[in-house]
Amino acid sequence: MKRRWLAVPLAIALATLIAVLHSLWVGERRPPSTDSAVLALPLHPSSVVAFVALDRGYFEARGLDVRVELYPSGKVALEEGLFPGRADIAWSHEVPIALAGFERADFAILASELWADNVNRIVARRDRGIGTPTDLRGKRVATQSASAVHYFLHLFLLRHGMTEADITLTFLKADDLTGALTAGEIDAFSMREPYIGEAATRLGENAVVFEEAGIYEQAQVLVARRAVLEENPRIARKALEALLDAEAFVARNPRESAIISARYLDTTVASMEAQLATFRIQVALPQALFILLESEARWAFEAGLVNRIAIPNYLRLIETGPLEALKPEAVTLIR
């Protein structure tokens, strides 16, 4: 009789354990709940982590259904995608973000994901007497205003003993630079791939390209609308999870990552491999990002690109919570 009474609780406990284990097993196999977001993605080499995340399906795997809008630059992705509310998340180099901080606080910086010190170039026409960097003096040079390539041009000129006062500086949209150069409307422009390669190909032997590694280490930065973070904080977490997955993939598979990026940019794999070899890829929030934003804010004020005298408090624009919850060691920002 005792054995029969003991068997009943044991059977119940065993059945309960089986049910719990089954529930856990089913839960592990159940796909994550799906949220949706619109991504504003610039078509430049620094977007390699996002390209990989899209190509490998990492956003979907993390439960984020995404629609992607492509833009010629991060500045345009912000101004035409994120800030008007047509996108929830955007990527940009840090200069347009630094300048946006003078005017608005309705966005949040979630992470930097890539650092590079040799992305930008200056392409010029040989038939305008340009063979060395100092030959740019007195020439018509164009770039995209208030952007990373504008800041690079500023530093490039300083490196070679010049300032913007030594050239005739004009501002054009990224998509218009190559046409203006090949038509002879300008003598040179400051930009990055794929525009530099396109212009060099169209000019052929008449093209001269200048680079200056090390003068400017720039960051590719992930930002989101604050309204999106407040309404659904899962979106930021899932986007960062997908980018962390992509970061790991790029580290293991650099050539395949270059192939994926070359397809998005319509450029050669060799060109993308060469650039990827110079990138420092890490989804993080380092102190260096804050310092860079402040430096660029001072440059923007001195260049007359902004009206406000006070430097924005960029710490208020940086949202550490989502990344800190996923990878706390990646957040080294001092608040």
Task: Convert the pLDDT of each residue in 40-64 to its tens digit.
Answer: 999 999 999 999 999 999 999 999 9
Q: Give the alpha-carbon dihedral of 71, 73, 79, 85, to 10 degrees.
A: 40
- β-strand 218-225 against 89-93: which pairing, if any? antiparallel
Q: What is the mean pLDDT of the chain?
A: 91
* Most distant CA atoms of the chain, gap in Å: 107
- Provide the angle, in degrees to the nearest 10, between the axes of the packed helices 234-252 and 254-265: 120
Q: What is the pLDDT averaged over residues 159-183?
A: 97
Residue 21 has a pLDDT of 47
Fold agreement between 35-115+218-330 and 121-210: yes
Residue 32 has a pLDDT of 63
Q: Domain segments of the chain: what residues?
A: 35-115+218-330, 121-210
The topology (CATH level 3) of 35-115+218-330 is D-Maltodextrin-Binding Protein; domain 2 (3.40.190)
Residue 24 has a pLDDT of 46
Give residue-wise pLDDT tens across range 21-34.
444 444 444 456 88
User: Distances in Å between the alpha carbon of 8 and those of 14, 22, 45, 154?
Assistant: 10, 21, 66, 82
Query: Is pLDDT at 125 greater than 50 in this prediction?
Result: yes
Model confidence at 78, pLDDT cuts 50, 70, 90, reads very high
Query: Is pLDDT at 210 greater than 60 in this prediction?
Result: yes
Residue 334 has a pLDDT of 86
> pTM, whole model, 2 decimals?
0.84
> Do 143 and 180 meet the contact criterion of CB atoms below 8 Å apart?
no
**Domain spanning 121-210 has what CATH number?**
3.40.190.10
Query: Is pLDDT at 312 greater than 60 in this prediction?
Result: yes
